[in-house]
Structure 1
Amino acid sequence: MKTQLVLLAPAVQVGADLDAWFAQGGGEGLRAALSNPTGILSTLAEANLRGLGGAGFPTHRKWAAMAAQPAELEKYVLCNGNEDEPGTFKDRELLEKSPHQVIEGALIAALATQANHVYLYVNPHQHCAVAVVRQAIEQWRGCALLAEVAKHQNRPIDLAVVESSGLYIGGEETAVIASVEGGFPFPRQKPPYPAQSGVHGQPTLINNIETLAHAAHILRHGAAWYRDLGLGDACGTKLYSLSGDVLRPGLYELPMGTPLHTLIFEHGGGMLGERAFKAVFTGGPSNTLLGADDLDVPLDFDTLKARGSSLGTGAMIVISEGTSIVRKVAEYVDFFAAGSCGQCPPCKAGTYQLSRLLRRIDTGTGLPNDLQALESLCHLLPGSGRCGLIDGAATVVLSSLKQFRNEYAAQVIAVG
């Protein structure tokens, strides 16, 4: 299968060099948007671009909610590059190797929504990404194309880098708002949604780095071109972060809808040590597991949802036979327990209890009642927090119990 690279192809040569980006055709998407700002949303709708940071929400609908707010208000576009979940490393690659496509996409979003503040929100632990993005933004500040955007908006464009807290919870969209305002990244209750009340109470659009990068290419080449890149009913390409027990882990840009088997065995080179495939955490560790019977599944939003799973960020963490599912799940739930901000007691206490029970079972000291307690918590806890952290922790535990209950049962102490 030959793939037309959209996001990674320019990353090989461009870096933070704006002239090199323009020489490759960069800026054409923004110029197209400037020539017809009212057509941006319809183009994205026709392309069927969806949020690529995990939720998969239609991008044009999110932008339309922001655009509906009065144009004279201060408006913010926040490019979310916090990326702190295990197994996810696509946004860092884009920011380090080709930040200009992200900035261009963000400026297109500003045009579509009449925004005058554009902030790239980057994890400070990614030192190289922060440095490259700062350099890239300095070049845009002296660029005539940015001046054209400001002229269209009839006010200056505030383009800047904002470092995140570096915490996992800092990537949740309302926590992004809190960080940009200078506070601790506590998630906030919704509604109101960011499009109505975000940074300093003003309309705010928050999109993932990859989503915005795609927008630049869609406006450049058109919706039909983008749709044709996908397989089946899926549209465009997707960055898949492949890690775990594979021979060639790495970042792969493939057509949306590429089968899981193709990603792992053709691009990833198959399993380490010639072991058998056991399972994969799809979309990162906050989603469900898929087993050997699911290797045929196309990796796109709707097909994975029909299988009871989720594409998430596109992270695929592969597990081979001989690796303990209980231990891997325990490690990820430990991560969630450490990442809980403590604002919602059910989340803080719930993730701690899940972690404690999993560690008991993993170390051979768990009892049959611990399995029942795990299941009960997984049904009780979702929806009890202001963000999705507790939901993700419960999802991965419940999914692993459903798929690999025999492993859990084999590790508990028999009673009676």
Structure 2
Amino acid sequence: MNRTLPSSLDATDATDAPMRVLTSAAAQAGPELPAWLQAGGGLGLQRALQAPDRIIEVLRDAGLRGLGGAGFPTHLKWHAVAALAPLAGQGKWLICNGNEDEPGTFKDRYLLSRTPHQVIEGALIGALAVAANHVVLYVNPGQPEAVTSVSEAVQAWSGHPLLAQVAEAVGTPVELHVIPGSGLYVGGEETAAVASVMGGFPFPSLKPPFPAEAGVHGAPTLINNTETFAHVPHILRHGAAWYRTLGRGAAAGTKLYSLSGDVMRPGLHELPMGVTLRELIFIHGGGMLGSRPFKAVFTGGPSNTLLTAADLDVALDFDSVRERGSRLGTGAMIVVGEGTSVLRKTAEYVAFFADNSCGQCSSCKIGTHQVSRILDRIDGGAGRQSDLKALENLARLLPGSGRCGLVDGAATVLASSLSTFRHEYERALNR
């Protein structure tokens, strides 16, 4: 039987809907819950409480996608968890994944430090939608400001009537937990996050089963990135149609782009999903540092295919960037200007992956270290022509050989730099 969406979830509140959503002045309430509520916080959750069975539909209509890297449609993941029965003695779990640790990515620490309540409110709406009774804020312990802010914010929700209403709708008490991660990069992979939340070492595990089927203690578990949850209360408050108007073209909403490298104004920029790379760098980023010519950008963090000057007009959304053979990922953009060595940067990033391999998969642990050693040898002027062939073979053999995407990321950036900037490798060999 079809029902019209209740006006409480259809409303757009266009009069007070900010174009800067996650980073608006009103959102930056810190851990003070009264300040967040006074700025309009809580309205999204109140509207969700009026029709909890329609939450997932609203997110579908809004076009919200996972903003931690893959861009998977949020409503599909939420629906999968909502459709499963709770596990006896455990119920269901929800994890807000704030283990951000990749070079060039710094959006989640901003949200958790400056605007924790919009993240918590989004997570509570998620708990309401999937009937989760355990809500975990999973935070990188290397970001003490974020850990402190989230801990204070969670304490502020304790005993609040809205939390009690969520528990009543779910049918069981809803517990908020702040759990610092292991401090390891690999701990951000979803199955590793599950292991870490259970108190174990964050070893990624083979899938299936996916966490939605059997996550924390075997219970259905919903895992999304911090930025994804932060958008949810605004969508429920202002409506799906409003959210779609914020993006460009077919893209919906806004996106936090972490801009760094050889630009005049590095930092966090909240812009429409689908803004062009050229606009991000030359307008919002103030152009190239020292007026150097643009050379390339490590897109979505250092684990994707490099984009070059030929790609400056690409729309920064999941589908458009994928059409260029790369990925939007977390929205991190590490800009490289002429005079900065792509070979050197690639060596640095592969070394990061090698150092952060959990060692569970020998192809990853040994392979990434082998790539790192060869890159350092070439960059240091001691490379051999045979090293290029070895790197090409490793770039071909390593992808898909691990339980998580770490080795794939190292192989992808290696293959991309070899293909696009091979002249830098050749020049280093001929020094």
TM-score, normalised to structure 1, is 0.97
Provide the C-alpha distance between the structure 2 equivalents of 1:111 and 1:151, rounded to a whole number of angstroms: 10
The equivalent residue for 1:398 is 415
Change (3 A) 1:394 1:13: closer
1:1-59 deviation digits (Å, cap 9, x = unpaired): xx810100046641111111111111111111111111111111111100000010000
Provide the C-alpha distance between the structure 2 equivalents of 1:204 and 1:108, rounded to a whole number of angstroms: 15
| Runs of 4+ residues over 2 Å off in structure 1 | 10-13
- Secondary structure of the 2:96 match is strand
* 1:241 maps to 2:226: no
Change (3 A) 1:310 1:80: same
Shifted more, 365-374 versus 108-117: the winner is 365-374
* 1:60 maps to 2:75: yes
The equivalent residue for 2:342 is 325
Cα offset, 1:409, TM superposition: 1.3
* 1:367 maps to 2:384: yes
Q: Is the 8 A contact 2:27 2:118 kept in 1?
A: no
Residue type of the alignment partner of 2:211: P
The equivalent residue for 2:11 is none
Provide the C-alpha distance between the structure 2 equivalents of 1:195 and 1:338, rounded to a whole number of angstroms: 30
- Secondary structure of the 1:77 match is strand
Q: Is the 8 A contact 2:93 2:132 kept in 1?
A: yes
* 1:188 maps to 2:215: no
Q: Is the 8 A contact 1:165 1:179 kept in 2?
A: yes
The equivalent residue for 1:291 is 308
Which stretches in structure 1 are left out of the alignment for 5+ residues? none
Provide the C-alpha distance between the structure 1 equivalents of 2:170 and 2:339, rounded to a whole number of angstroms: 59
TM-score, normalised to structure 2, is 0.94
Change (3 A) 1:185 1:13: closer
* 1:269 maps to 2:277: no
Cα offset, 1:158, TM superposition: 0.9
Cα offset, 1:130, TM superposition: 0.5
- Secondary structure of the 2:278 match is helix
- Secondary structure of the 2:421 match is helix
* Mapping for residues 104-253 of structure 1, pairs under 5 Å: 104-253=121-270
* Structure 2 counterpart of 1:303, from 303, 320, 331: 320
- Secondary structure of the 1:21 match is helix
1:174-206 deviation digits (Å, cap 9, x = unpaired): 000000000110001111110111001111111
1:329-370 deviation digits (Å, cap 9, x = unpaired): 000000000000000000001101110111111011111211
Provide the C-alpha distance between the structure 2 equivalents of 1:279 and 1:404, rounded to a whole number of angstroms: 10
Shifted more, 395-404 versus 66-75: the winner is 66-75
- Secondary structure of the 1:254 match is strand
The equivalent residue for 1:258 is 275
Provide the C-alpha distance between the structure 1 equivalents of 2:238 and 2:420, rounded to a whole number of angstroms: 43
Change (3 A) 1:373 1:11: farther
Cα offset, 1:142, TM superposition: 2.0
Residue type of the alignment partner of 1:126: Q
Aligned-CA RMSD value:
1.1
Residue type of the alignment partner of 2:190: E
Cα offset, 1:72, TM superposition: 6.0
The equivalent residue for 2:65 is 50
Change (3 A) 1:313 1:11: farther
- Secondary structure of the 2:120 match is helix
- Secondary structure of the 1:239 match is strand
* 1:15 maps to 2:30: yes
Cα offset, 1:68, TM superposition: 1.1
Identical pairs, percent: 65
- Secondary structure of the 1:197 match is coil
